[in-house]
Amino acid sequence: MSDVARAAGVSLMTVSNVLNGRPNVGAETRLRVLEVVDELGYEINLAARRLRSGRTGTVSLIVPRFDHQYYSELAARISDVLAPEGLHLVVEQSGASRERELSALSLARLQQYDGVLLSAVGLDFQDLDRIHPDVPIVLLGEQDVPDRYHRVKMGNVTGARLATEHLVECGARRIAVLGGRLEAPHPEMATYRARGWAQALEAAGLSPDPSLAIPLESFSIAEARSAIRERVQGGLEVDGVLGVTDEVAIGAMAGLRDAGLVVPEDVQVVGFDNLRVSEHVGPGLTSVDPGHDAMVAHALRLLRQQMDNKGTTPEHVVSEVALVVRGSTRRPVNDRK
C-alpha cells in the first residue's frame, strides 16, 4: 500500500479509502490510484485484513432470482445504504434451491463476509435449525424460522387483505387472487397473500371461490398474462384481480387486454410490492407498498448489531404496509356521486 501511495502521489489513507470503496475521494484521484494498483499488481489480502480487523468489508445478499424486479430493487436499496459506510455488497442467486441456499451458508462461504442477508425459500425450519452460522445473518421472507435467528418479513396477510378490501369498496365482487395458493406444504408468500384475500372476502360477506385462486409457478409477467387470459377466455368471470406481486398484476393487465377487457372499467387490478415501474404502466398500478426502506433499515440494523456484538437478542420484524392507489382501480362506490 505504501508503494501505491508513493507512485500515485497520495497518502496511505487515500489509498485505503479507494481500496475500501469509501466515497470521500475525488474521481480523478480515485482513477489515478486504481491505475497504479493495476500497474503494480497490488492485491488486497482479505485473509490478512480479516485477521487484523476482524472484518472483510463485504456483506452478502442471497436472493432466489436476479430477474425478478423486486430483488433487483432490494439489492439496489441495500447497496445504497452500505456504500457510504465503505461496505461492499455481493449478491448471489440461489434459484430458490435448498442445495444452493445450504451452500451459501457453508463455513467456507460465510468466512468471506461480515454478514449475510438471506431470502430463504428452499430451506425449511428443520434445515435452519440444524445450521449454526458463526457469521451474523438476517433472514428475509416468509418461511417459519427458529427463534434464534433474526428475521424481517413483509406484512403479507395484512397487505393482501388491504388490497382486497379496496377492490370490494370499489365495487368488485368476483375477485381473483392471481398467483395465490390456498394450501401449500410450507408457508410461503403465495399462501399468506391468498389468506389475506380470503379473510377480506369473508369479512365482506363474500365466500372465497377456490376457482378464483389461480396458482402460478414462476410469478413472471408472461406466465401471469397467459394464465388470466386462458381462464377468462375459458369462461371464468372476474371483475377484480389481486396479483400476488406487481409483476403478476402487470401480467394480468396484459392478459385481460388480450381477452378484450379494459382495466379498470371491466376489471380492476391491484398488485403487491409497489415497484418503481408500477406507476409508469398504463394505467398506473394500484399496489400494496410493503415498506421497502423500513425493511432494509430493520435488516441492516439487526445485521450491524450482530457485527458489533451489541443487542443480539433475536428479533422477528414484520413490516408495515400501505395501499398506493393509482389508475388500475376505480373510486370507492361510496365516494361516487
Confidence of residue 52 (pLDDT cuts 50, 70, 90): low
Q: What is the mean pLDDT of the chain?
A: 91
Q: Report residue 330 as a C-alpha cell.
A: 376505480
Distance between CA atoms of residues 328 and 7, nearest Å: 60
- Considering the domain 156-289+323-335 in this protein, what is its CATH number? 3.40.50.2300
pLDDT digits (tens, 9 = 90+) for 143-159: 889 999 999 999 999 99
Mean pLDDT computed over 316-327: 96
Distance between CA atoms of residues 295 and 149, nearest Å: 16
For residue 46, pLDDT over 70 is answered with no
- Asked if 47 contacts 55 with a C-beta cutoff of 8 angstroms, the reply is no
Q: Which CATH architecture has domain 55-154+291-320?
A: 3-Layer(aba) Sandwich (3.40)
- Across 167-186, b (16+ Cβ under 10 Å) vs e yields bbbbbbeebbbbbbbeeeee
State the number of CA atoms in the 13 A half-sphere of 113 facing the CB: 29
Distance between CA atoms of residues 214 and 227, nearest Å: 8
pLDDT digits (tens, 9 = 90+) for 73-111: 999 999 999 998 889 999 999 988 888 888 887 766 777
Using omega within 30 degrees of 0 as the cis cutoff, is the peptide bond preceding 215 cis?
no
For residue 133, pLDDT over 60 is answered with yes
Same fold, 55-154+291-320 and 156-289+323-335: yes
Other Cβ atoms within 10 Å of 52 Cβ, number? 9
Confidence of residue 48 (pLDDT cuts 50, 70, 90): low
Mean pLDDT computed over 23-52: 74
Q: Report residue 247 as a C-alpha cell.
A: 409483476
Which strands make up the sheet holding 150-153, listed edge to edge? Answer: 88-93, 58-63, 115-119, 137-140, 150-153, 316-318
For residue 240, pLDDT over 60 is answered with yes
Per-residue pLDDT, 97? 87
Domain ranges of the chain: 2-44, 55-154+291-320, 156-289+323-335
Phi, psi of 240 (to 5 degrees): -155, 150
- Asked if 175 contacts 212 with a C-beta cutoff of 8 angstroms, the reply is yes
pLDDT digits (tens, 9 = 90+) for 261-283: 999 999 999 999 999 999 999 99
Task: Give residue for cell 365466500.
Answer: 207
Residues in contact with 304: Cβ distance below 8 Å, sequence separation at least 6, in sequence order: 115
Residues in contact with 86: Cβ distance below 8 Å, sequence separation at least 6, in sequence order: 17, 20, 21, 22, 57
Local structure of 324: helix, strand or coil: strand
Return the CATH class of domain 2-44.
Answer: mainly alpha
For residue 284, pLDDT over 70 is answered with yes
- Asked if 69 contacts 277 with a C-beta cutoff of 8 angstroms, the reply is yes
Per-residue pLDDT, 311? 62
Interior angle at CA 215, CA 224 and CA 160, nearest 5: 85
Confidence of residue 187 (pLDDT cuts 50, 70, 90): confident
Alpha helical stretches, state H, the chain: 2-8, 12-19, 27-40, 46-53, 69-82, 98-104, 107-110, 125-130, 156-169, 189-203, 221-233, 246-258, 292-307
Length of the chain (residues): 337
- Asked if 62 contacts 89 with a C-beta cutoff of 8 angstroms, the reply is no
Per-residue pLDDT, 40? 87
pLDDT digits (tens, 9 = 90+) for 193-239: 999 999 999 999 999 999 999 999 999 999 999 999 999 999 999 99
